[in-house]
Structure 1
Amino acid sequence: MTDLIEVKTADLTGHALGWAVAKVERLEVFLAGPQYNVPWRVFWKKRGEVLVRDVLYNPHEKWELGGPLIDKHYPTFSFSDGLIRAEVIVASGEPFSAIGPDYLVAACRAIVAAKLGDTVQVPKELVHAN
């Protein structure tokens, strides 16, 4: 595996954000190196009844992956200065909010903040891979 670096949750974008969400969800993920002008990406070992397959894990941009996270963590949304704010309230009643350019990014950042805190460790390759 690669070296991890600390990043502010509010600054997470792209596959670095996907990696952090995967850690919250305790998914088995791995990195795929750059090829054919495609940057580093995060893949998930999705386990079914019989098969295991590698799936691109990008809940920050794909509703079929991010939508179930919204159903699970129940963020509320508001708008401010052209950005979307998502707020997740944890069991203790403490709210965690994050801002993003769209619903999925805002929700993913808020979920990561609620579960992992204001900073997270992500593979260094993902930080500038977007």
Structure 2
Amino acid sequence: MTDLIEVRVSNLVGAPLDWAVAMAEGFKSDPERLTNVWLNEEDPTSISIRGVEMGYGFRPSSNWEHGGPLIEKHQAGLSHDRYLSGGPCGCSAGPLNSTWLSGPTPLIAFCRALVHAKLGPVVRVPKELIPCPA
């Protein structure tokens, strides 16, 4: 069993965010597999924790081929906002009739908002996906 750690959705990025999106979308987690979620014919709802960590598999927060269909599926709105996300340019997004969240890119903003809408403001993600502090 993988140890889980609580993280605020508004702070998620990279593999932890992708994993949380997969969980929000109903995928099952299998930490021992390195398969691409889209090519796994045996179980198309599985996602590899290690695969995501290593850049394989489901990456909706950085790959438009994965995140774009989710934006359409959830009828999400996107907005580029000046002075959002702690910098001169950011984005905000959210599924239809849901809270919008911000992020440095449209995909990250949307993915955060989707996870927040389905799982709440704090989620538990596999500890192995959280980068070690420098």
Please indicate the TM-score interval, normalised by the length of the shorter structure: 0.7 to 0.9
Between the two proteins, the alignment pairs up a number of residues equal to 116
Q: Secondary structure at the match of 1:56?
A: coil
**1:84 aligns to 2:91 (yes or no):** yes
2: CA distance, partners of 1:70 / 1:47: 23
TM-score by length of 1: 0.76
**More strand by proportion, 1 or 2?**
1
Summarize the Cα distance change of 1:43–1:18 in structure 2 as closer, same or farther, 3 Å threshold: farther
**1:105 aligns to 2:108 (yes or no):** yes
Partner of 1:73: 74
2: CA distance, partners of 1:52 / 1:116: 23
Partner of 2:6: 6
Summarize the Cα distance change of 1:7–1:42 in structure 2 as closer, same or farther, 3 Å threshold: farther
Q: Which runs of 5+ in 2 are unaligned?
A: 49-55, 84-88
Whether contact under 8 Å (1:29, 1:45) holds in the other structure is no
Partner of 1:36: none
Instruction: Give how far 1:113 is off.
Output: 0.6
Instruction: Give how far 1:29 is off.
Output: 3.2
Higher relative contact order (CA 8 A, sep 6+): 1
**1:44 aligns to 2:44 (yes or no):** no
Identity of aligned residues (%): 39
TM-score by length of 2: 0.74
1: CA distance, partners of 2:38 / 2:127: 21
Instruction: Give how far 1:28 is off.
Output: 2.6
Partner of 1:37: none
Summarize the Cα distance change of 1:45–1:63 in structure 2 as closer, same or farther, 3 Å threshold: closer
Whether contact under 8 Å (2:38, 2:57) holds in the other structure is no
Whether contact under 8 Å (2:38, 2:58) holds in the other structure is no
1: CA distance, partners of 2:118 / 2:111: 11
Following TM superposition, the consecutive aligned residue runs of length 4 or more in structure 1 with deviations greater than 6 angstroms are none
Q: Secondary structure at the match of 1:44?
A: coil
Whether contact under 8 Å (1:30, 1:43) holds in the other structure is no
